[in-house]
């Protein structure tokens, strides 16, 4: 390996270390830590410990995460109690309101932390429901033909009944009768046959006189 390749490899390794999650945690941990603790801290050992935690979570071991959450919940509970005591002891309304508001925020964060821990220990079950979409055009199949090879032997068979129009012969037709049948009767007694009309025997054309 040449010197240029070794330099490029070292630069890439340094860049990966700088943007790694372990380095981000390391920077935050060492920023406000006590000087007596930092004097005894070994930087490579701390980075290795952070990498071990990451690998454990990737393999499904959530013991470290569970311990972290319960520790955070305990710390938030202590903060809630401390802020509540401070707010109740102060004599100024503005300071009391600020302290109690922060105390309630710490309580809310404590509850959320415990809820997260509970979800890790007992993951919630998600029930998926089938969506019933009724918008748009639809097609309804009244009968389905299933090939004999696709029918399960143990499944109950459903028979479909086709709708057929019942044909009725002309002699069997029934008509709705709106009233009672009327009786037959003779012709009116006063009606008489019309007499023959007396017409002239010689009918000439219009405008022409007869002899």
Percent of the chain at pLDDT exceeding 90: 28
- Place 211 in a pLDDT band, splitting at 50, 70 and 90: very low
136 part of a folded domain: no
What are the backbone angles phi and psi of residue 17, rounded to the nearest 5°? -65, -35
Alpha-helical segments (H) within 20-135: 21-31, 35-39, 43-58, 63-89, 93-121
- How many angstroms separate the CA atoms of 76 and 69, rounded? 10
pLDDT at 113 > cutoff 80: yes
- How many angstroms separate the CA atoms of 176 and 196, rounded? 45
179 part of a folded domain: no
112 part of a folded domain: yes
DSSP state for residue 182 in the 8-state scheme: P
Mean pLDDT confidence for 143-172: 52
Mean pLDDT confidence for 40-52: 88
Ranking 48-52, 68-72, 136-140, 160-164 by mean pLDDT, the lowest is 160-164
**Could you give the C-alpha distances from 138 to 106, 133, 135, 162, in angstroms and in order?**
54, 10, 8, 21
Note whether 67 and 119 are same-domain residues: yes
Note whether 70 and 47 are same-domain residues: no
Give which of 73, 97, 74 is closest to 86, Cα–Cα: 97
- Place 210 in a pLDDT band, splitting at 50, 70 and 90: very low
Spatial contact of 106 and 76, defined as CB atoms under 8 Å apart: yes
186 part of a folded domain: no
pLDDT digits (tens, 9 = 90+) for 95-110: 999 999 999 999 999 9
Spatial contact of 118 and 66, defined as CB atoms under 8 Å apart: no
48 part of a folded domain: yes
188 part of a folded domain: no
Note whether 72 and 107 are same-domain residues: yes
Note whether 119 and 68 are same-domain residues: yes
Mean pLDDT confidence for 146-168: 52
Count structural domains, the chain: 2
- Place 29 in a pLDDT band, splitting at 50, 70 and 90: confident
Q: Which domain holds residue 32?
A: 9-61
74 part of a folded domain: yes
**H or E element at residue 8:** helix 3-19
184 part of a folded domain: no
Average pLDDT over the chain reads 75
Ranking 9-23, 53-67, 179-193 by mean pLDDT, the lowest is 179-193
């Amino acid at each position: 390996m040449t010197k240029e390749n070794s330099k490029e490899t070292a630069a890439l390794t340094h860049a990966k270390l700088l943007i790694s999650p372990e380095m981000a945690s390391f920077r935050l941990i060492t920023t406000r830590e006590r000087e007596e603790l930092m004097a005894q801290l070994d930087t490579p050992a701390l980075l290795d410990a952070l990498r071990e935690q990451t690998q454990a979570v990737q393999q499904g071991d959530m013991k470290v995460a569970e311990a972290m959450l319960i520790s955070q919940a305990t710390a938030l509970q202590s903060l809630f109690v401390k802020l509540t005591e401070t707010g109740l002891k102060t004599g100024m309304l503005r300071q009391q309101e600020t302290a109690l508001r922060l105390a309630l925020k710490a309580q809310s964060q404590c509850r959320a932390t415990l809820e997260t821990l509970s979800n890790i220990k007992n993951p919630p079950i998600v029930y998926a429901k089938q969506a019933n979409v009724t918008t748009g055009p639809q097609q309804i199949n009244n009968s389905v033909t299933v090939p004999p090879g696709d029918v399960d032997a143990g499944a109950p068979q459903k028979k479909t009944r086709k709708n057929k129009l019942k044909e009725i012969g002309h002699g069997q037709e029934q008509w709705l009768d709106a009233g009672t049948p009327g009786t037959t009767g003779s012709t009116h007694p006063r009606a008489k046959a019309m007499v023959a009309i007396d017409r002239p025997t010689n009918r000439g054309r219009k405008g022409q006189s007869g002899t």
